[in-house]
Structure 1
């Protein structure tokens, strides 16, 4: 049967102010309190467990300083100098390979300035005469380099030679230069200048410098640090640190290992603190019928399936906002702390001993090596508070060349003898190693010549695949050629990279100067390497069995 037509209309109820006094509307009085109670009953707000809120928290912990350090290539562990950022200890290069002539002159001038500040300025002429800078520019020479070395030679001390003597790669550092005679009344001033000079360069003051953390076959840093608790030594490894900034998540706990950390280095920590709710400005209020901060508009939150951090933050703020509390615990930098007990006293006077946190919540807790479990220690590294990074003085790009079926290490820039960045592509073009773009087309008398292979720029270093003798079926990338001018590719050594270290997107390794500021305001300066993602595949233009034209003579 046919249906009757219907007309549906809606009437919206809105508040309307009929008086000049707005106080009644601002009070937001509830006309039906029973309805509000019913809504609270429906959402389960009355199903309480009579649980009290935490009032005080008493912490007991054992904290020990990091006292030992060992780079991946260092023969033995050395004492860790906590006066320096850990980034400087790990990334710094050995004195004989990290500096250029310009920096050598600047280091010599800085050491002379420190001697004058300590009242030993009369030793500066002897220092310049004993540690002379060579005027020879070496293989990477241009007009600015030659002119600069001609000016500083004989006018500034060679800080490179001085640094190699005062802070040798192996053995204990010296306090005074060995090539000059120092009067007894000037000895203390020279020692103070040497210590200040080492701190400026990010070098240890009481231990030999290491510089063995860089792994050229892996293009990353590897090192270990250790501290000793009453329960034993705690060794933390960082096997894949690319450079940049160090924090607890770069470390893994290695049970049973030892670096020879001295005993009696731990201290007991007992604190009674007030907990606060873990919140941030604009977070929704966990209470009903409460005006909230409008700085965050929750209705405008959008997230994709891969935005896990945003989804977790939104779920925490809207569902678990009043379930977590912050307990402040001040600890010195460079310590490893193990909590022994956490006792919470609530508003009912009950005291509850909290169990250890599960592995799902492992903030500031490194992972146990070889497992997915978190260690029961909190790590606070002696890292840099802030830093200033200079432009790369050396840059090497590792990339794949599918057309030539090989990999390449392209030295895009290297540091010249005067310390400035030198573009190798421009140097090769000036030397005539690249074909000219406006080459004359072949004429009628030109002859075709057979080429076994097409020419490749000198700064494109081939990485040919070779079998790994230690692991059958595995491929290594062996560096060939004699065109290496920088320090990243380890000139004069055999360099073989595992094939997986050069992925399809490539790898970029840079060397640059870094200046970091410590928590007490002091600064540290060092040269470090950083590994970054590449820019994809490239093409060298390498071709085999080709022919080209050459004008007849």
Structure 2
């Protein structure tokens, strides 16, 4: 419909409005207008004819030159502060000074004692010394050391369930040197003269005392580099048992006040800059405002880094009709109109994924860095200065009360370790059981007598809660129509966690914690019935329960002809223990209730192996916590009535 300007009482101030310049239409980008929730048909890119393909290439700007340069080099300047201290989150007094060339932060935080909890490795380290002594022509000295420091590999409680522990007990018990005990004795010697006196006491000839002392010194150095050994038994001092995660802080000292970085919830075994926050706690003074003003440490790259296109598995090809590997099928990613997150991922992958570049940069470890200069040169010779993006997506978070409003252009680069993780020495699941209204700690794998992992479920079957007495041959048949069960059995490797009131909770703020408990099972232990030949296997089962150090027993109750005894199953591993060195019957772990979500959590304790920036091999035992696999069902019921066999 035409509209008259005069009829509409509109005045034209410029003739360009009444007579605009001719325009032309171009395609700079195709925006799909979806009429269906399925995007697979549009992503198939069906081919019609050559002319149609040329038109589609023209529409997708494949025939257009943009006169845009590609980055070919970059000039980068980085300044930073060295990390100087490692300290507890709540106790800044016990700070550990980190010297130059210290081990990676992950290893220092996670490591716990190795030789004391792995008798097989301890004995094998002693065998290494015996082999060295034999190679040096001193086999008698090795036998004397074995007699003075015998390595003990105790027999397992159940040889069938812990077969590896039984085998290594028969092979190595008292047949190797206790490496940990010998190392403690050698380290206590004050000087070289004392070491040679100790060596001469091993029956070494006077002419070989010096070489034998050197051999012991070399072996002691080898043992120190074998694994990072903790100073105290049990978990790392940075492990928070009530949270089932690590908590620590780092101090970075420069010319100004120190910087304090806090890692409150480090649990997944991968330490990176986003694991840290900056806060102002009473025991962590100082802030970064002046620390970054005077850069105390310059870390220029040894050579200009070359920008490379960012790649990821399944990335779309650069050309539209180029064959792809098919590892990721974007055509199967159906998205509704309201599914904004999936649409954003699709748009990034299909449109903007080739616009990102990466710069490989090697920096000294254990330091807090920021980029002071960033210039990029393209293939046309144009140098462009890249300013800070100002995004807080790629910088550390700040806790309430932090000394600064934000950390502009600051990034903590932790040692990038490619850690090799061994099979779990201990594997525990914490799941919620809605039917029983409990949280269960399920021990799947624990360390056996030799230190090797054993299947806790198989051992639980050996400690079966379904064992029953067989009636004697002259006993009358049970003809009861209804049979009453006070409590259904639960597997021995299922440990309950009961809700208890949190210490210090008030009626206005009533908070709970989950405290580890036990399930008590009562079994028939009448002597006459246990002596019956038909109950031979049941009698052996009772003896296994009574001899197991992780099973607590109660007194025998009842009449002489009907005696019962209670058995309480405690955890065998250390993940569900507050103090593994305390008696298991008096050690109760309390876990914060919010740490066990509906999906549960998965705890693992295992060996980690990595090489640091100096090329040193690092071996340590660490722990990790990840999301679980969902809820569980223990089958625990009370007051169950079933129909008997007539």
Q: TM-score, normalised by structure 1?
A: 0.71
Q: Which segments of 5 or more consecutive residues in structure 2 lack a partner in the other structure?
A: 1-47, 201-208, 519-567
Selected match of 1:466 from 500, 503, 509:
500
Partner of 2:83: 66
CA distance in 1, matches of 2:221, 2:495: 41
Asked if structure 2 preserves the Cα contact closer than 8 Å seen for 1:221 and 1:243, the reply is no
Asked if structure 2 preserves the Cα contact closer than 8 Å seen for 1:118 and 1:193, the reply is no
Asked if structure 2 preserves the Cα contact closer than 8 Å seen for 1:397 and 1:508, the reply is yes
1:314 and 2:350 matched? yes
Deviations 1:314-362 (A, max 9, x none): 34247xx3xx665554312333212234456789999876543212552
Following TM superposition, by how much is the alpha carbon of 1:404 offset from its aligned partner in structure 2, in angstroms?
Answer: 1.3
Aligned ranges 1:337-486 → 2 under 5 Å: 337-342=369-374, 354-360=386-392, 362=394, 365-370=395-400, 376-387=409-420, 389-435=421-467, 443-445=477-479, 452-471=486-505, 472-481=509-518, 483-486=570-573
> 1:311/1:369 Cα in 2 relative to 1: closer, same or farther (>3 Å)?
farther
Asked if structure 1 preserves the Cα contact closer than 8 Å seen for 2:425 and 2:604, the reply is yes
CA distance in 1, matches of 2:444, 2:437: 21
Asked if structure 1 preserves the Cα contact closer than 8 Å seen for 2:89 and 2:262, the reply is no
CA distance in 2, matches of 1:176, 1:383: 43
CA distance in 1, matches of 2:220, 2:90: 27
Partner of 1:487: 574
Following TM superposition, by how much is the alpha carbon of 1:531 offset from its aligned partner in structure 2, in angstroms?
Answer: 1.7
Following TM superposition, by how much is the alpha carbon of 1:121 offset from its aligned partner in structure 2, in angstroms?
Answer: 7.3
CA distance in 1, matches of 2:372, 2:140: 58
1:227 and 2:252 matched? yes
CA distance in 1, matches of 2:220, 2:230: 11
CA distance in 1, matches of 2:197, 2:389: 61
Partner of 1:336: 368
SS in 2 for 1:66: strand
Partner of 1:93: 112
1:195 and 2:214 matched? no
Following TM superposition, by how much is the alpha carbon of 1:546 offset from its aligned partner in structure 2, in angstroms?
Answer: 3.8
SS in 2 for 1:67: strand
CA distance in 2, matches of 1:382, 1:122: 45
> 1:55/1:94 Cα in 2 relative to 1: closer, same or farther (>3 Å)?
closer
Q: Which segments of 5 or more consecutive residues in structure 1 lack a partner in the other structure?
A: 1-11, 16-27, 29-35, 286-290
> 1:532/1:79 Cα in 2 relative to 1: closer, same or farther (>3 Å)?
same
SS in 2 for 1:466: strand
Asked if structure 2 preserves the Cα contact closer than 8 Å seen for 1:283 and 1:293, the reply is no
Asked if structure 1 preserves the Cα contact closer than 8 Å seen for 2:368 and 2:411, the reply is yes
SS in 1 for 2:198: coil
Selected match of 2:147 from 117, 122, 129:
129
SS in 2 for 1:428: helix
Q: Which segment is superposed worse, 449-458 or 525-534?
A: 449-458
Asked if structure 1 preserves the Cα contact closer than 8 Å seen for 2:85 and 2:95, the reply is yes
Q: TM-score, normalised by structure 2?
A: 0.62
Partner of 1:19: none
CA distance in 2, matches of 1:162, 1:139: 27
